[in-house]
């Protein structure tokens, strides 16, 4: 807002910023401890001192007897109210009063009974099977219904059930979860939890945010998926931005063995190893940490041995992701590290490559014992196209995101580094979590092992924070 | 006579002084009479007094705001309040006015329960230049309902305004200072650092007495829902001070224009007012009103 307009607004509000008297400005400075120019305060204002009474004619206006002005708060609110229609501002106090009076006379239980409602604490809530709904290249469309139920209060157990039909495999998929709060203080939360599921899930380092879109566009095939049938039980402790988990998992894992051909760009022709079948029994210890714009988690998985099962291995996962502003530039960094020991199945092997890992390279292009990956992005904050002034183009509001991915696998077929700089262009769709942006990434893989010189990805990207 | 002067002074000055005091009292009494001449202290400027102290930086103002916001309900364990939401949905040839009544309980541990108690919807059709209520539709969309939401993320005791929670996302600017009675009011503006972050810009007014935010106005330079929303014209949050010294939200107002209004199927605009009332502090959790905890 320009200075004259600001001053006009100030006058309308009855203020005297900037254009006021020196004495007034000095009073601000003295009381606020600031000078108008943010400098050290020096107060040149005169200090009134009584000296000698002088006669004053009674017809003179006594000081301080001006008509009272509404205070700032009221003036601001009145100006705000003037923007909205009267029928909005009048509200409905009679409905509020009668409703509250009825609640007070009946009490909560009788009010609910009179209302004939079945919702509220202790009720069931129905919705789509959000956790297992998917479109994948092994089973096609998986869709169904879910229901959540709990008793009133934060200490009550909560149960969640989902069932869905997989159109490709013509199988029924389901998920059941139970959460039992043991301690539910504001600073400390401890829950016991158990779940069982029969579903197909993606595996490997490359797991884009919206897997269904990847499958639809042809960025996946059945060897990216794993059928998992089994359950887990454990506890989770949350305290001061820190969460500790301890779980026992037992599941029979296998390659789906099916293939849904439908995809926009056909079937990928990349030689990948399918998941190894067998019974996986493991203990998993985890730590989640969140501080401001930084998030990190670690998991250590021990399978086999005394726990039984068909696989005997250890796997440690570390992940750190964060955002930071450098001036107006928003920088994001994702670091992943995986180390395995023993004889892990294919689905637990450390790997690199793919849209969710090192862009520009094939999925699981590197398999090994240890893997380290990094993804760095710069979100250019300036609307360059809008500044161009070119019709249509200026209204596209496309954001440029230069990026660089890199990583390396140890004790695999190759120890060479994978590097791929690139440029992304994204369009904001809405605050839809994992699909907030529609993004086109152009990655330029480097090195002798690069599959091609340029690889394009169309995908959804996460926003806002 | 050793001290004739002193004797003289004692004999003469004392009566003279008494007469003078009496005369002054008479003059003062006369001066106090209405319509007569009276005296007032006259003020005169003397030497300038120069003072200096450390300037309060914008960063300090923001940090003090974070602390000040936490004092708005200080001294209380819990509270109840009611709020009514009036939504005005405008189509090309019809409009809908919906009122929802809520009752809320919140405590300083972060626990909260909100009851959705009642809903009333009225439909209007455009006739000429005016609106005519469609009485037949009135009860169709007015189911009585009681639902409860135990989410504590919006607790007034524990939450901070978003621009204080996510300070790294915004650039702040001290727009003005003013003296309102004996309080200094800071006018602070903020805007997203990125041209592409669909976050609001805003202006907030901070009372430097305890660094509490007393008024908030928001706009969106970047459309938050480009697929659905044409623009967000205005959002504001009004605060008020209660007789007990608590600062509470009194009103939230919002005006949004939507896309697709030209079809007549989609609304052209939605205006929402949320009105908060009946604040009661430290009543404890009343299971009779709110159900079992």
- Specify the pairing of strand A437-443 against strand A455-461: antiparallel
Establish if B106 belongs to a structural domain.
yes
pLDDT recorded at residue B25 = 63
Between A78-92, A104-118, A164-178, A373-387, the lowest mean confidence (pLDDT) is in A104-118
Say whether pLDDT at A302 is over 90.
yes
Confidence at residue B201, expressed as pLDDT on a 0 to 100 scale: 94
Query: For chain A, what is the total number of helices (H) and then of strands (E)?
Result: 8, 20
Judged against a pLDDT cut of 90, whether residue A266 lies above it is answered with no
For B38-52, the pLDDT digits (tens) are 666 667 767 777 777
Per-residue model confidence (pLDDT) at position B77? 92
Residue A58 lies in a domain: no
Residue with token string 């300038």? B48
Check whether residue A221 and residue A341 sit in a common domain: yes
Q: Decide: pTM greater than 0.80.
A: no
Domain that holds residue A288: 125-461
User: Is the CB of A429 less than 8 angstroms away from the CB of B226?
Assistant: yes
Query: In this structure, is residue A356 part of a structural domain?
Result: yes
Residue A61: inside a domain: no
Q: What is the rounded distance in angstroms from the CA atom of residue B256 to the CA atom of residue B274?
A: 14
Residues A23 and A145 in one domain: no
Asked if residue B99 is part of any domain, the answer here is yes
Of B199, B226, B236, the CB nearest to A80: B236
The pLDDT tens digits of the residues spanning A353-409 come to 998 899 999 889 999 999 999 999 999 999 888 888 888 888 888 999 999 999 999
How many distinct structural domains can be found in chain A?
Answer: 2
What's the whole-number average pLDDT of chain A?
80
DSSP letter assigned to residue A446: B
Tell whether the model's pLDDT for residue A15 goes beyond 50.
no
- The Cα B82–Cα B80 span in angstroms is 7
Q: Is the pLDDT of residue A281 over 80?
A: yes
Which positions ≥6 away from A382 have C-beta within 8 Å?
Answer: A328, B195
How remote is the C-alpha of B235 from its chain's centroid? 14
Query: Nearest-CA neighbor of B115 among B84, B157, B79, B146?
Result: B146
Contact in structure between A121 and A157 (CB atoms under 8 Å):
no
Residue A92, class by beta-carbon neighbours within 10 Å (0-12 exposed, 13-18 middle, 19+ buried)? buried
With contacts defined as CB-CB under 8 Å, which chain B residues touch A154? 111, 150
pLDDT of residue B82: 94
Q: Could you tell me if A258 and A394 lie in one domain?
A: yes
Same domain, A1 and A141: no
Q: 168-187 in B: which are within 8 Å (CB) of A?
A: 168-169, 171, 174-182, 184-186
Q: What is the pLDDT of residues A411-454, one digit of tens each?
A: 988 889 999 999 999 998 888 877 888 999 999 999 888 888 99
Any idea which of A25-34, A125-134, A350-359, B6-15 has the lowest mean pLDDT?
A25-34
Answer whether B116's CB lies under 8 Å from B145's CB. yes
Q: Quote the number of domains for chain B.
A: 1
Tell me the pLDDT of chain B averaged across its residues: 82
Q: What is the pLDDT of residue B223?
A: 85
Position A265 in a domain:
yes
Answer whether residue B210 is part of any domain.
yes
In a domain, B16, yes or no: no
Nearest C-alpha neighbor of B121 from the set B88, B149, B92: B88
A92 against A19, higher pLDDT: A92
Contact with chain A for residue B32, Cβ under 8 A: no
Residues of B in contact with A431 (CB under 8 A): 198, 224-225
Q: Does A297 lie in the same domain as A156?
A: yes
pLDDT tier at A352, thresholds 50, 70, 90: very high
B188 pLDDT more than 70? yes
Report if residue A65 sits inside a domain: no
Placement of tokens 């005997």 in the chain: A312
Structural tokens at position A224: 């990216």
Contact across the interface for A89 and B255, Cβ inside 8 Å: no
Nearest to A108 among B53, B169, B289 (CB): B289
Summarize pLDDT for A142-157 with one digit per residue, the tens. 999 999 887 655 567 8
Closest to A283 measured CA to CA, from A226, A232, A346, A238: A232
Which residues of A are less than 8 Å from B114 in CB distance?
none
Confidence label for A50 from pLDDT (cuts 50, 70 and 90): very low
Lowest mean pLDDT among A47-61, B110-124, B149-163: A47-61
Q: Look at chain B and count its residues.
A: 293
**Are A100 and B208 inside 8 Å of each other by CB?**
no
* CB-CB contact of B192 with A457 (8 Å): no
d(CA A272, CA A311): 20
What is the domain-level CATH number for residue A295? Answer: 2.40.160.50
Residue pairs between chains A and B whose CB atoms are closer than 8 Å: 270
Instruction: Choose between B238 and A44: higher pLDDT.
Output: B238
- Asked whether residue A208 is assigned to any structural domain, the reply reads yes
Residues B251, B227: Cα–Cα separation, whole Å:
28
Are A17 and A136 part of one and the same domain? Answer: no
Residues with Cβ within 8 Å of residue A267, at least 6 apart in sequence? A218, A221, A259, A261
Is the pLDDT at A88 greater than 70? The verdict is yes
Please name the member of B34, B46, B180 whose beta carbon is closest to the beta carbon of A72: B180
Question: Does A369 map to a domain?
Answer: yes
In a domain? residue A104? no
pLDDT at residue B36 in the model: 55
Is A39 strand, coil or helix? coil
Q: What is the 3-state secondary structure (H, E, C) of B185-239?
A: EEEEEEEECCCCCCCCEEEEEEECCCCEEEEEEEECCCCCCCCCEEEEEEEEEEE
Distance from CA of A55 to the nearest CA of B (A): 4
Q: Determine the pLDDT at residue B40.
A: 67
pLDDT tens profile B119-138:
888 889 888 888 888 876 55
Report whether pLDDT(B161) > 80.
yes
**The pLDDT of residue A10:** 33
Question: For residues B72 and B241, what is the distance between their CA atoms, to the nearest angstrom?
Answer: 9
What is the residue range of B280's domain?
A: 58-290
Q: Name the residue with higher pLDDT: A34 or A207.
A: A207
* Domain shared by A279 and A423, yes or no: yes
pLDDT at residue A45, rounded to an integer: 38
Higher pLDDT, A304 or A265: A304
Task: Please give, rounded to a whole number of angstroms, the shortest distance from the CA of B10 to a CA of chain A.
Answer: 29
Residue B74 sits in a domain of what CATH number? 2.50.20
The pLDDT of residue B17: 66
**pLDDT score of A68 more than 50:** no
pLDDT tops 50 at residue A63: no
pLDDT at B139: 52
Contacts of A430 in chain B (CB under 8 A): 224-228
Q: Decide if pLDDT at B10 tops 60.
A: no
CA of A31, closest CA in chain B: separation in Å?
Answer: 7
A149 CB burial (10 A radius; 0-12, 13-18, 19+) = middle
Task: Give me the pLDDT at residue A235, please.
Answer: 97
Lowest-confidence segment of A235-249, B21-35, B188-202, B249-263 by average pLDDT: B21-35
Tell whether A253 and A394 lie within a shared domain.
Answer: yes
């Amino acid at each position: 807002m320009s200075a004259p307009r600001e001053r006009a607004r100030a006058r309308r509000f009855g203020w005297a910023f900037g254009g006021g008297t020196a004495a007034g400005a000095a009073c601000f400075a003295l009381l606020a401890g600031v000078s108008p120019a943010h400098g050290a305060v020096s107060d040149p204002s005169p200090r009134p001192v009584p000296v000698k009474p002088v006669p004053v004619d009674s017809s003179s206006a006594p000081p301080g007897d001006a008509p009272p002005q509404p205070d700032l708060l009221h003036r601001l609110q009145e100006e705000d109210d003037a923007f909205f229609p009267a029928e909005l501002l009048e509200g409905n106090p009679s409905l509020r009063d009668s409703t509250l009076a009825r609640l007070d006379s009946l009490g909560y239980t009788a009010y609910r009974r009179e209302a004939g409602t079945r919702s509220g604490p202790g009720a069931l809530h129905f919705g789509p099977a959000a956790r297992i709904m998917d479109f994948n290249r092994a089973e096609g469309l998986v869709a169904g219904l879910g229901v959540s139920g709990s008793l009133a209060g934060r200490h009550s157990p909560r149960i969640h059930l989902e069932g869905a039909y997989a159109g490709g495999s013509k199988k029924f998929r389901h998920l059941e979860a139970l959460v039992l709060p043991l301690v539910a203080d504001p600073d400390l939360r401890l829950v016991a939890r158990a779940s069982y599921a029969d579903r197909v899930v993606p595996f490997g380092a490359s797991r884009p945010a919206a897997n269904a879109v990847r499958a639809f566009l042809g960025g996946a095939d059945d060897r990216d998926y794993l059928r998992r049938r089994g359950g887990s039980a454990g506890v989770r402790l949350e305290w001061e931005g820190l969460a500790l988990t301890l779980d026992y998992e037992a599941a029979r894992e296998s390659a789906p063995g099916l293939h849904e051909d439908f995809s926009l760009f056909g079937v990928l022709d990349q030689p990948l190893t399918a998941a190894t079948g067998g019974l996986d029994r493991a203990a998993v210890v985890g730590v989640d940490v969140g501080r401001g714009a930084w998030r990190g988690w670690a998991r250590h998985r021990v399978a086999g041995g005394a726990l039984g099962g068909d696989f005997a291995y250890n796997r440690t996962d570390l992940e750190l992701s964060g955002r930071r502003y450098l001036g107006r530039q928003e920088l994001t960094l994702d670091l992943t590290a995986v180390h395995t020991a023993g004889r892990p199945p294919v689905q637990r092997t450390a790997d690199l490559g793919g849209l969710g890992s090192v862009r520009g390279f094939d999925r699981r292009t590197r398999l090994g014992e240890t893997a380290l990956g990094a993804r760095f992005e710069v979100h250019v904050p300036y609307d360059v196209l809008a500044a161009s002034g070119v019709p249509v183009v200026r209204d596209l509001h496309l954001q440029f995101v230069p990026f660089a991915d890199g990583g390396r696998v140890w004790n695999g077929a190759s120890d060479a580094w994978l590097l791929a700089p690139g440029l992304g262009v994204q369009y904001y769709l809405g605050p839809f979590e994992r699909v907030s942006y529609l993004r086109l990434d152009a990655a330029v893989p480097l090195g002798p092992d690069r599959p091609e010189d340029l690889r394009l990805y169309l995908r959804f990207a996460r926003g806002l924070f | 006579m050793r001290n004739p002067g002193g004797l003289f002074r004692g004999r003469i000055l004392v009566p003279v002084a008494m007469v003078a005091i009496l005369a002054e009292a008479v003059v003062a009494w006369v001066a106090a009479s209405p319509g007569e001449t009276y005296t007032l202290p006259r003020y005169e400027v003397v030497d300038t007094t120069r003072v200096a102290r450390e300037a309060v930086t914008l960063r300090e103002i923001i940090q003090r705001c974070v602390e000040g916001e936490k004092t708005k309900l200080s001294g209380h364990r819990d509270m109840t309040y009611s709020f009514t939401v009036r939504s005005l949905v405008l189509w090309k040839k019809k409009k809908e006015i919906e009122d929802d009544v809520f009752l809320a309980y919140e405590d300083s541990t972060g626990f909260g329960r909100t009851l959705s108690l009642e809903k009333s919807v009225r439909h209007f059709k455009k006739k000429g230049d005016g609106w005519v209520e469609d009485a037949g539709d009135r009860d169709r969309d007015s189911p009585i309902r009681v639902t409860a939401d135990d989410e504590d993320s919006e607790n007034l005791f524990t939450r901070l305004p978003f621009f204080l929670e996510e300070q790294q996302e915004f650039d702040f600017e001290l727009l003005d200072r003013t003296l309102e009675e004996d309080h200094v009011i800071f006018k602070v503006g903020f805007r997203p650092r990125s041209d592409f972050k669909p976050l609001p810009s805003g202006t907030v007014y901070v009372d430097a007495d305890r660094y509490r935010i007393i008024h908030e106005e928001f706009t969106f330079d970047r459309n938050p829902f480009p697929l659905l929303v044409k623009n967000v014209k205005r959002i504001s949050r009004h605060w008020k001070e209660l007789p007990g010294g608590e600062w509470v939200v009194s009103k939230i107002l919002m005006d949004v224009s939507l896309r697709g209004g030209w079809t007549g199927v989609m609304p052209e605009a939605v205006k929402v007012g949320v009105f908060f009332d009946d604040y009661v502090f430290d009543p404890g959790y009343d299971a009779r009103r709110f159900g079992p905890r």
